[in-house]
Amino acid sequence: MTSQQKWIAFITIVRREIQRFLRIWPQTLLPPVITIVLYFVIFGTLIGSRIGEMSGLPYIQFVAPGLIMMAVITNSYSNVVSSFFGSKFQRNIEELLVSPVPSWIILSGYVVGGMSRGLGVGLIVTILSLYFADFSIHSLPVTIAIVLMTSLMFSLAGLINAVFARNFDDISIIPTFVLTPLIYLGGVFYSIDMLGDFWGGVSQINPILYMVNAFRYGIAGISDINIVWAFTMVSLFCVVLFGVALNLLDRGSRLRS
């Protein structure tokens, strides 16, 4: 394929993915926004007023970056896992795999589609959060970089989950038993300084911990984790997941009948 043909294939996949979640926006965009607003009301306003401060910040300002990242993570992940598994279930993906389109183009198209939804919901939640919390951007480059890397990583994770899923029930296993615990144990609602040495050490293997703290640094200028180390770990996770996802597509594992 020529470079122009590869670009057309990539744009076609991305456009289809974006149109898919925009067409059913009451199911894809509205529910996560309502959920995050409820988090702001309950944890930020009601409970936060009783907690007071966390790491030197009003609790609502401390928790806001984590809630925004939670929206980015869940929506980037869910968009790719549902879309790719739907194509796999309907055998549409087999047509792509036997076409001249390189696997990395297919992977990139689905991932960018997932990132678009994750970033879109994240932007909406960020705008709504201004109603609840008064904060400014401490470092715009750090904020943009970590949000992009986070949506990239969980879009890749969603595709890998979709490849291994055998039925629609399987695509809910990882969000329920892996993703949700990682989010709640990733420093969204508390500082890891509150944990003991053992649980603080265990938290170091949680990638969401690095993402939330890097984003919190970009927004509020505070972090429980060294920022350079946080970006190093997130970059490592992204590279590993990209390699795994690309290998699965190249092999056609669980995709070809």
The residue among 88, 105, 80 whose CA lies nearest residue 255 is 88
Backbone angles phi, psi at 53, to 5 degrees: -115, 155
Q: How many domains does the chain have?
A: 1
Residue 227 domain flag: yes
Range of the domain at 159: 3-251
The per-residue pLDDT of the chain, averaged, comes to 88
Please give the torsion angle defined by the CA atoms of residues 139, 144, 149 and 155, in that order, rounded to the nearest 10 degrees.
Answer: 140
User: Is residue 177 a part of any domain in this protein?
Assistant: yes
pLDDT above 90 covers a percentage of the chain that reads 46
Distance CA 21, CA 186 (A): 28
Q: Within a domain: residue 257?
A: no
pLDDT at 257 over 60: no
- What is residue 221's DSSP assignment? S
pLDDT at site 256 = 67
Query: 53 and 59 in contact (C-beta within 8 Å)?
Result: yes
- Please, which pLDDT band fits residue 111 given cuts at 50, 70 and 90? very high
Please report whether residue 16 resides in a domain: yes
- Inter-axis angle of helices 140-164 and 207-220, to 10 degrees? 160
Mean pLDDT score, 68-82: 93
Q: Looking at the predicted structure, is the pLDDT value of residue 84 above 80?
A: yes
What type of residue is 80? V
**Better-scored residue on pLDDT, 184 or 236:** 236
The answer to whether position 84 is within a domain reads yes
228 within 8 A of 152, measured Cβ to Cβ: no
pLDDT at 105: 94
- Asked if residue 87 is part of any domain, the answer here is yes
Q: Nearest Cα to 185, choosing from 205, 158, 163, 156?
A: 205
Is 166 a member of any domain? yes
Phi, psi of 95 (to 5 degrees): -65, -40
Q: What is the pLDDT of residues 123-152, one digit of tens each?
A: 999 998 888 887 778 899 999 999 999 999
Q: Assess contact for 112 and 15: CB atoms under 8 A.
A: no
